[in-house]
Structure 1
Amino acid sequence: MGNEVKGAVRAGKERHDGKVLLETNEIIFRGPDYRLKIAFGEIRGVDAANGELRVQTKDGVKIFEVGPSAEKWREKILHPKTRAQKLGVKTGTLVRLVGEFDSDFVKELKASKVEIVQANGSGVFENTFFAVDARNSLAALTKCARKIKGAEALWVVYPKGKKEITENDVLSTGRKAGLKDIKVVGFSSTHTALKFVLPVEKR
């Protein structure tokens, strides 16, 4: 998932305290009485100084008080990694897809020049992406975990904020299958990707 800090946002004469999140393609503010979301595509300019991130949009300037993160966030907004890069996808590797993925993600994988193999394909994979949309879909995760070899990563992609499946459901199932969770990435505005690997002693 993205970066998160406790901070504030200023817009005109108003100032609100809350949490500021830098996601894959947007900056989000969540406060008790004020919320804000700015997609990177809406940003016309961004500067960082004295712990403040100044974001220019068509609606004016929003100033995010994020402390030492300001300069790092500015660079991430100006030079964002692709989703494939954040997921550790490398050119020339084999990627296995289990479940239904949107066409944009498949296009990104192809642009990364990887070989895409469907669920029952064979080979030495660097990444397997497993899509689930409900708790009962996790039964197949245990079966998928048995196919993981060496340092291969198993990314479980699931919906955000849904009662039908939660992060705890995914974590519990992966751990019971003998895997270790090591990373969370914001897959999209609606989905999260949780990375599992085999513990070193089992490789």
Structure 2
Amino acid sequence: MGNEADCQVRFRRQASKGHARLEEKELIFRGGFRLKIPFGDVKSIDVKRGVLKVVFSGGEAAFDLGPDAEKWADKIRNPRSLLDKLGVKPGMKVSLLGIDDDGFKKQLRARTDNINEGRPVKDSDIVFVKMTEAKDAARLKRLREAIKPDGAVWVVWPKGQKAFREADARNAGPAAGLVDVKVASFSDALSALKMVIPVKDRPLLR
């Protein structure tokens, strides 16, 4: 079991089997009734005999998760930071292209001082690039040349607009020598797609 589970949930006077899912900032349940519990709204969490009890402003919900209940509780109590989800480790060489999120930059500076803005720097561990039009995906080939063999390019784009979509990056990846491996929410307004050099091609670059 990962961050999703089919389980029974009790809430107020209702009980239903359904599907529970842990998102980045909230716990969601879809069954005979629906729940959406933001982590910031959680007042207390308790686990007993495989049942995760979550008290929030709307009441108390009990999720019968079995042996994984404690793992879910820990993820709610200690959600991973954005930088952890994006794989940014202390001291990494990071290139930022078009990223104007001041909050993200502040977090990044607290983790590494090897940050380069405006252009991709050779042997970057990670390149973050914002794309807003489909034609921007053509930049991926040059960005591939800037990262280390085991590095990554995170393509970031605005949510809910049609000028650039996730598919634009995915479709351009093979020609650029990159494959997509992960999607993440960069912020409330931005989505992100992680692209890396295929493992079979990495030895050729060493």
Shorter-chain-normalised TM-score: which range?
A: 0.7 to 0.9
Where does residue 91 of structure 1 map in the other structure?
90
Where does residue 82 of structure 1 map in the other structure?
81
Instruction: State the alpha-carbon separation in 2 of the partners of residues 28 and 128 from structure 1.
Output: 32
Please say which structure displays the higher CA radius of gyration: 2
Deviation at 1:27, TM superposition (A): 1.8
User: Secondary structure of the equivalent of 1:120?
Assistant: coil
Q: 1:7 to 1:200 in 2, by over 3 A?
A: same
User: Secondary structure of the equivalent of 1:172?
Assistant: helix
Give the aligned residue type for 1:47: D
Question: Which region of structure 1 is more displaced relative to structure 2, 184-193 or 98-107?
Answer: 184-193
Deviation at 1:43, TM superposition (A): 1.0
Q: 1:73 to 1:153 in 2, by over 3 A?
A: same
Unaligned runs of 5+ in 2: none
Where does residue 115 of structure 2 map in the other structure?
116
Deviation at 1:56, TM superposition (A): 1.0
Q: 1:160 to 1:61 in 2, by over 3 A?
A: farther
Q: 1:105 to 1:30 in 2, by over 3 A?
A: farther
Total equivalences in the alignment: 201
Instruction: State the alpha-carbon separation in 2 of the partners of residues 164 and 49 from structure 1.
Output: 49
Q: 1:95 to 1:22 in 2, by over 3 A?
A: same
Q: 1:186 to 1:23 in 2, by over 3 A?
A: farther
Instruction: State the alpha-carbon separation in 1 of the partners of residues 9 and 189 from structure 2.
Output: 24
Query: In the alignment, is the contact (CA less than 8 A) between 1:24 and 1:188 conserved in 2?
Result: no
Unaligned runs of 5+ in 1: none
Deviation at 1:45, TM superposition (A): 0.8
Q: Deviations over 1:171-196 (max 9, x none)?
A: 22223321122333343345443222
Where does residue 28 of structure 2 map in the other structure?
28
**Higher relative contact order (Cα pairs below 8 Å, separated by 6+ residues):** 1
Query: In the alignment, is the contact (CA less than 8 A) between 1:132 and 1:138 conserved in 2?
Result: yes
Q: Determine if the alignment matches structure 1 residue 3 to structure 2 residue 3.
A: yes
When normalised by structure 1's length, the TM-score is 0.80
User: Secondary structure of the equivalent of 2:146?
Assistant: coil
Instruction: State the alpha-carbon separation in 2 of the partners of residues 98 and 58 from structure 1.
Output: 41
Instruction: State the alpha-carbon separation in 1 of the partners of residues 118 and 40 from structure 2.
Output: 34
CA RMSD of superposed structures (Å): 2.8
Matches within 5 A, 1:41-56: 41-56=40-55
Deviation at 1:91, TM superposition (A): 1.4
Query: In the alignment, is the contact (CA less than 8 A) between 1:52 and 1:64 conserved in 2?
Result: yes
Where does residue 149 of structure 2 map in the other structure?
150
Q: Deviations over 1:61-95 (max 9, x none)?
A: 12234444321111111122211122221112211
